[in-house]
Structure formats: C-alpha cells, structure tokens
Copies of this chain bind each other. A is one copy, B any other.
Amino acid sequence: MSTPRKATPPGIKHAPLELEHFLPYRLSILSNTVSQGIADDYQQRYDLSMTEWRVMAVLARFEGLSAREVADRTAMDKVAVSRALARLVEAGRVSRHMADNDKRRSVLDLTEDGWAIHDVVAPMARAREQALLDKLDEDERQWLVRILDKLQER
C-alpha cells in the first residue's frame, strides 16, 4: 500500500474538468440556487413542498387537468404527482372529482384556499425571477431567452 504500484506514465495528463467553467455544472448550481430561493418563500409558511407548488402552479394556469396532464406539463413522474395531489386534496387546496366520460380520469382544480395561496406565492416567485433578471441588461435578457430556446430544442 505504501509503494506506488505503477507510476502514472509521464506523458499522460488526465485533463480533469474545470467545473467552474463546465456548463452542465454551472447550470445545476444556478438552477438549484434559484429554485431553493423560491421554495424558501413558501415551504415553511404554507407547509408546501416544491412538487406541490409546481402542481398548484400548473393547475392555476390550466384548470380541470387530469393527474396525467399535470405530470406531462410539469415533467414530473406520475407517482410524484399522485402523492403531491393526495396531500393537496387532503389539505383542501385542490379539488378532485371524477370525469363523467372516463371514470379513471380525475378533474383537478384549485379550491379557494388553493387560489389564496397561489395569489400570494406566485407574485413572490415572479419577484425572485425579476431579481434574477435585474442582474442583466436588456440585451442580455433577450439573448438569454434566445439561447434557452436553442438549448432546449429537440
């Protein structure tokens, strides 16, 4: 154990990644920081998880979705959605009733309580986004949108 078993051949350099310039890493750090920041605004206050908030946000935007459609729109998997919905319905923040044309399908909506929370949290989320965008000038904001569009293509 104390003697090196084989010296690294002199010519080989290993070329480690420079994480601080590595795009996937930078994206990950940035994304986590931002999402966590927003979550800090509502988590304790409303006992609301990030996934629950995402479900609420999409139901605010599109009323009457099924669980499956929520999953599609949030890029969450259906089990996660099912669990988030169980808590939200239990807490009286989302109403669920059966679609009359298809008894498997649920029809989901925010309740009044759900809307009340939404109407507090959504502006806070927007404010966080704005704080981020404020670091950029107008040119940069436009490039950012264009760049994100291209990176997400396909």
Contact = CB atoms under 8 A, between A and B. Distances in A.
A16 B118 contact: yes
A126 interface: yes
A15 B119 CA distance: 8
Interface string A50-71: 0000000110110000000000
Interface in A99-135: 112, 115, 118-119, 122-123, 125-126, 128-129, 132-133, 135
B153 A115 contact: no
Contacts of A133: 23
A148 B20 CA distance: 11
Copy number in this complex?
2
A101 to B, nearest CB: 19
Interface of A: 5-6, 8, 12, 14-19, 22-24, 26-35, 38, 57-58, 60-61, 73-75, 112, 115, 118-119, 122-123, 125-126, 128-129, 132-133, 135-136, 140, 143-144, 146-148, 150-153
Nearest to A133: B23
A30 B125 contact: no
Q: Select the residue from A24, A35, A126, A136 with max chain B CB neighbours within 10 A.
A: A24
Given A5-B112, A24-B31, 9 more contacts: A14-B60, A17-B125, A17-B126, A19-B57, A19-B73, A19-B74, A27-B30, A143-B147, A147-B147
